[in-house]
Structures are given as C-alpha cells and as structure tokens.
Amino acid sequence: MTTRATRGILRTAVAALLTAPAAGALLVAGAAPAHAGSGSITKPAANASLSSGDSVVVEATVSLDRSQSAQLKITGPGLGSGRITSKTNTCTSLTCPTSQSYTLSDARVPISSANENGRFTVALTGDGISTTRSFFTDFAPGTPSSVAATGTGASRVDVTWSYDGTEPDLSGFVVADDKGNSYPVNDPSARSYTALYDNPEPGTYDYSFTVKALRKNGTGDGTVAGSSSSAASAQLVTPKPPPSPTPGPSTQPTPGGGGSTPGTGGGSTPGPGGSTPGTGGGSAGGGSTGGSSGGSKTDRPHIAVPTLSPIVQQRRSYALSFNRFSPSHGIPKLPPLPATTFKPASETFQPTLPYEPQEQEDDGGSLLADPMSRVTGLDPRSLATSVAFALVLLMAFAHVRLFLAGSRDE
C-alpha cells in the first residue's frame, strides 16, 4: 500500500517523463538555423596599376557564423607560392551572436621594381565565400647614361649609350631625335644604333638625340618607358655638287659665207661660186661652201653638206690641227697641208696633194738581172779579167815551188 508521499513522487516522475520530449522540441524549434558566410575584398582597387612603393595593403571583410572560417591568399611576382591570411569564428557560447564580422588584412605585401612587372591575384574563400580580384605592377625601367652621337658624311649618325639597370623584363630601347623621329631598338642587350638621313640640299644639318629604356607592363600586352636620357648632338654636312664641265672649243670648221661677200674660211683654191673668192684659211672655207653660194639668193644652187663617217671626221680634225703646231710647242713646224674639198657622201674623203710623187731613176739593171754587180759594185767583165789574172799567178807560183823543191833534193 502506497503512502501519499510515495504517490507524489511517482506523479512528479511521470510528469517529467511526459514533458521532456516537448521541452527538447521547443529548444530545437527556438534555435536559429546556421547560414553561409559572406565577404568581399576591399583593398587594393580592382585592376589597380601600381608603379611605385615597396609594399601594398591587401584587405577583405567577412561575416562568419559559429565555427565558420575564411582565407585570404595573395599570389604574384616575387611571392613564390603565395601569402595566406585566415580567420575562424571560434565562439561556441549561447551568448555569442549568430554572425560575427572580421577583417582579413595583409598590410605588407611586397612589390619591387627589381621583379618582373605582372599580375597579382587576391582570392577570398571560406564557408560559402568565393571571390577574386587582380591588380598589376607597372614599374618603369632605369635611365640610360653616357649618350653620344657621331655624324659621318652627309647621311649617317651613330648613337651609343650605357645602361646599368637589372630589370628581368627589359624589352629594349627607343632612340629619338629632335626632328620628331623615333627608332625602336628591340634588343635589351643593344647599346648602339645607326640613324640614316637623306638631305639632298647642300648645307649643314644639326641633330639632337635622346634614349629611353623599355620594359614589359603588368598585363604583358605593352611596354613601360623610362625617363629620357640627356641629349647628345651630331652634325651632318651635304656638300655642294661639282660644277658642270665647260665644253671645249669645237674642232669642226665654220662654213664660209656665200653671196657677194667673200667666204670666211676659204682654202688655197677659191670656191667656184660668188663674185669674190674666199680669203680665209682652212680646208672647208669659201671654196666649196662659202664661195659656191655666190650670186643672188634666187640664183644660189642648193648644195647638201655631206655627212662624214667617224673615221673621216677624225682624220680631218687631225689634219686641221697641224696648223696650230709650232716649234714653241716642242714639235717641228710641218709643211702646210693642201686644201681639201667636200665630196658627196657617197664618195670617200681623199685629200689632194699639190706635188707629184718622185720616181727613182733606173740605171738599166736590177738585182735579179745582174746580182753580182748589184752586190759587189764591179763590172762583170772587169771582174772576169781579174779572176783570170789571179789564176795565172797562182799556177806560176806553184811551178816555181816545185822547181825549188827538186833542186834541194839533188
């Protein structure tokens, strides 16, 4: 038999057992459900181009629930495998807020002009978070030094320079003059360039040259130019052209004039035409040209001037030049040449001579007819007599010798 106290305890236990599931369900129903984290990158600006300094601040903000985490990773030139900054919401108390905001920051991400220009990538990841951003470095190269320019002749200038930069992405140089011309040099190891100019007008031309270094930009699709070097000057000189040669006096004679006036270039024989014979000297004077055209203009016959062949013109010019020779020139005075006359072009130029060739007198014999007399100069008959007389003397001498030899033997 149970007492009242015992029954109270039993009722309390049964009530607890009946209400426990309902209380658990109320606790579960009252708790807020877990949600995905969120976040964004705030520094640096998207696609920023950095050209100075030695570091950059990279920063992101996130919102994390209990036990959620986020990670910030930066990769780029000079960072190797990258730099990582992370954050986790470690609050487990029932009094912690359901969501907590955090700042992920790497305030000293190194950048340097000694490294290649390039792209840096910032990646923010975590529970329900995934976002990226890029920025670039565009450091300029150094400045060339010891620039010199040397002009050669009328068109060539040699430009030289020195460069001490160590950029791994140096792409070349650009040479510029003060006339607005630029000459790219796409070789990072080059230290000279030859500029060529065309200055056709005579005169002196002054030029001034500067040199810039070039390196690749961060995006890799262009270049970044450094500062211009100090200027170097050069001078080109275009000379005046030589004067044209003055033509010498013509060796061709001037025909004598016709009509009633005497021919101006007459030869030794007066011309057949005109009222007065030619009076001048020369082989082509008023004889056949000037004098032959005498009379009135209507009565003057037409005479075609012959065209001489080159060899005939040469011989004629050579013959005419004899009259200019004299002993003062070191050449003996030659006898005057006979007058020459023009003949039609179809005939050969043959000068006439004022004297007859001299013939050698024949003494009545020839070398073939009488070779002995021609060689020895003796008459054949006299020669035969001399030979016979010599033979008689030889025979007499022989007999005398034999007689004397016989007398000696006795």
**pLDDT above 50 (res 281):** no
**pLDDT above 80 (res 52):** yes
**Co-location of 118 and 156 in the same domain:** no
Running DSSP on this structure, what letter comes out for residue 290?
I
> Which residues, in sequence order, are CB contacts of 261 under 8 Å at separation 6+?
274, 276
- Residues 68, 89: Cα–Cα separation, whole Å: 5
DSSP H or E run through 212: strand 203-216
How many domains would you assign to the chain? 3
- Residues 85, 106: Cα–Cα separation, whole Å: 7
> Which residues, in sequence order, are CB contacts of 187 under 8 Å at separation 6+?
172
In a domain, 216, yes or no: yes
pLDDT score for 28? 37
Domain of residue 190, residue span: 145-238
In a domain, 371, yes or no: no
**Co-location of 44 and 121 in the same domain:** yes
In a domain, 28, yes or no: no
In a domain, 389, yes or no: no
In a domain, 382, yes or no: no
**pLDDT above 60 (res 165):** yes
**Co-location of 193 and 273 in the same domain:** no
CATH number of the domain residue 166 falls in? 2.60.40.10
59 phi and psi angles, rounded to 5 deg:
-145, 150
Q: Mean pLDDT highest for which of 235-244, 246-255, 328-337?
A: 235-244
More confident residue, 324 or 81: 81
pLDDT score for 140? 96
In a domain, 170, yes or no: yes
pLDDT score for 410? 58
pLDDT score for 91? 83
Please count the other Cβ atoms lying within 10 Å of the Cβ belonging to residue 158.
14
What average pLDDT does the segment 304-319 reach?
A: 73
Among the listed ranges 69-78, 160-169, 248-257, 275-284, which one has the minimum average pLDDT value?
275-284
What average pLDDT does the segment 381-406 reach?
A: 83
> Which residues, in sequence order, are CB contacts of 398 under 8 Å at separation 6+?
none
**pLDDT above 50 (res 363):** yes
In a domain, 44, yes or no: yes
pLDDT (tens digit per residue) in 262-275: 444 444 444 444 44
**Co-location of 340 and 263 in the same domain:** yes
DSSP H or E run through 25: helix 4-30
pLDDT (tens digit per residue) in 111-149: 998 999 999 999 999 988 999 999 999 999 999 999 999
pLDDT score for 266? 41
- Residues 40, 124: Cα–Cα separation, whole Å: 7
- Residues 70, 127: Cα–Cα separation, whole Å: 7
Specify whether the CB–CB gap between 291 and 259 falls below 8 A. no
**Co-location of 46 and 118 in the same domain:** yes
**Co-location of 109 and 167 in the same domain:** no
Residues linked to residue 103 through DSSP beta bridges, in sequence order: 61
- The per-residue pLDDT of the chain, averaged, comes to 76
- Residues 85, 109: Cα–Cα separation, whole Å: 11
Coil, strand or helix: which one is 338?
coil
Specify whether the CB–CB gap between 325 and 333 falls below 8 A. yes
pLDDT score for 287? 41
Cis omega before residue 249 (within 30°)?
no
- Residues 219, 136: Cα–Cα separation, whole Å: 7
In a domain, 288, yes or no: yes
Looking at the chain, the whole-number percentage of residues with pLDDT higher than 70 is 61
**Co-location of 338 and 267 in the same domain:** yes
Running DSSP on this structure, what letter comes out for residue 134?
E
**pLDDT above 90 (res 8):** no
- Residues 71, 126: Cα–Cα separation, whole Å: 6
**pLDDT above 70 (res 182):** yes
What average pLDDT does the segment 363-377 reach?
A: 58
- Residues 83, 81: Cα–Cα separation, whole Å: 7
pLDDT score for 249? 64
Order the strands of the 38-43 sheet from edge to edge.
Answer: 38-43, 55-65, 99-110
pLDDT score for 228? 96
Please count the other Cβ atoms lying within 10 Å of the Cβ belonging to residue 313.
14
pLDDT score for 360? 55
Among the listed ranges 91-95, 206-210, 311-315, 337-341, which one has the minimum average pLDDT value?
337-341
- Domain end position, chosen among 188, 208, 238: 238
Please count the other Cβ atoms lying within 10 Å of the Cβ belonging to residue 201.
7
pLDDT score for 99? 83
Among the listed ranges 34-38, 137-141, 204-208, which one has the minimum average pLDDT value?
34-38
pLDDT (tens digit per residue) in 64-116: 888 889 999 999 999 999 999 999 988 877 777 778 898 999 988 999 989 99
The C-alpha torsion from 110 through 115 and 117 to 123, rounded to 10°, is -40
- Domain end position, chosen among 344, 373, 392: 344
Specify whether the CB–CB gap between 162 and 103 falls below 8 A. no
Specify whether the CB–CB gap between 145 and 163 falls below 8 A. yes
